[in-house]
Structure 1
Amino acid sequence: MPTIDMPLTQLQAYTGINPCPADFDQYWARALEEMRETDPQVELVPSAFQTPAAECFDLYFTGVRGARIHVKYARPRHADKPHPAVVQFHGYSGNAGDWSDRLAFVSLGFSVFAMDCRGQGGPSQDIGGVLGSTHHGHIIRGLDGEPDNLLFRHIFLDTAQLASIVMSMPEVDPGQVFATGWSQGGALTIACAALEPRIRKLAPVYPFLSDYRRVWEMDLAKDAYAELRTYFRHFDPQHVRENAIFTKLGYIDIQHLADRVRGDVLLGVGLMDTVCPPSTQFAAYNKITAPKRLEIFPDFGHEGLPGLHDKIIQFFLGNY
């Protein structure tokens, strides 16, 4: 079998090489406390897009540090009792997508919440306030300051805060809230379920933001991870601080959060993925102790994976 990474037998045992900070648990305990102390000030605004079957809203809430976060919320128009919900997360630099992308789940009786990540392709705010570079990406945003100011810390917290808001809605069954996303969305799916462990099922696909040092050692700090190379070239050209930098990135490395996941997991991976290398994905997957299954696509990279959307729907419906 062709490969761009380890053989499958090694992938199945790989547990990552990016260092985990010694105070990782305290870091996220402090972060979650900040989130819980933040008044979300939820606002629902009817959208211009409506259908006979779906009632659609622009949902806004206030995340940590005061940023207003936007979510596309679509629910079944005639639901008469609490029903399941799906929280969706988009790819890096993108946005929540079209309303029509929500309708398949709505037609099956799910409410759907698609979050726009702060400072990316949708209207969610990135209110700044960090030291150092903000050039070429969000992984390095806040890297020069205190780790509590890392932007992906805030985005991870946004996912958990949204899930908590969803679970508090009277129309939603709080025991049947699911999460899914591809690439960055896959990473945020894992982060969401780790920080809000009531997520019942999650379907991450080729998750990003995992095992940064492995990406570096594979010479794949390009495409979505290009900002790692940009940072070193500008701010540590001789790699004097390399270990400290990767250790700080460990706070926002999803592999270190993965063992907090309690929901059932369906993860999709393409073994020819040169954007989010398979080993980095296995580093997170192999740390998950909850019930889990893997969908492997040997000849596919960071692209559409045939039939996987259908399997995710069946997984959430309990038929797979």
Structure 2
Amino acid sequence: MSVQQRLLESRYRVRNGIEYARKHPENALLRGVGFAVLVSATVYFLVPLYWLFVAAFKPPNTIGFPPDIVPSTVSATNFQTILTQTEFVGQYLINSVIVAGGSAILVLTIATPAGYAFSRYDIKYKNYLMVAILSVQMIPFLAMIIPLYRIFSIIGLLDTLLVIIIVASANTIPVGTWLIKGYFDTVPDGLEEAARVGGASRFQAFRVIIPLAKPALGAVTIYAFVGAWNQFVIPLTFTNSEAKWVYPVAIYRFISRQGVVNWGLLGAASLIAMLPILVLFVTFQKQFVAGLTGAEYKG
């Protein structure tokens, strides 16, 4: 399509929009309000991130309030300090990767067969069980900290990465089960029936349709990984030694040690923490959207 054709198409769309607004002023007003709300929400979330980005690339001791909209100087000193003089990209980042990856694996291991069972089996009181599973999410985590701390203290799991993985996974498994169950509902059972007729067991038939649920599995994996990656209260409560700190706890401890908040180092450390999540979303965004929307299987 040439540039002239694109301009003509744009003018045509603008004219149609103006004509529609004249004929339906109430709808145009609602759309305008909705657009204003979306723009306000976008600005509300992007402005702090932009300031964090600016702070990370400014030289030390040059960050003031209000922050500069356009920095006059750019420096990578803060990133160099984080990479060479701290353990953020060493032990703390490795701990976060272990916790997030372990949580994603555990959630998939439990939620996948659970979602399949709720989708395919005629379980008594199935709907009530599904609601009961999801209702667990309504219990505030702070109300369970003391009992959980006592339980893990008795079995000797305190101050380990495993306890963070278990608790973070428990918060994600209910939603993961619902997502996978909803996706399996859209997959016809003809393939399983054909496999069973061919002599396959129920487990073998289950393995046949697993590749069809990749979008849902990908969405649950990202959801579990991000949820565990961002955990702060859980690792802060159940771990004590510095060797078990995850990235968010390390940032908090780093600030408290300094006494005064170094916004440049904080910005650099925060941007580094965002990189794995951004890479994950960019790489698997199609699977994530398809899994959340419950796109029906076609074929």
TM-score normalised by length of structure 2: 0.23
From the CA coordinates, give the structure whose radius of gyration is larger. 2
Give the structure with the higher percent helix: 2
- Which structure shows the higher strand fraction? 1
Q: Give the TM-score normalised by structure 1.
A: 0.22
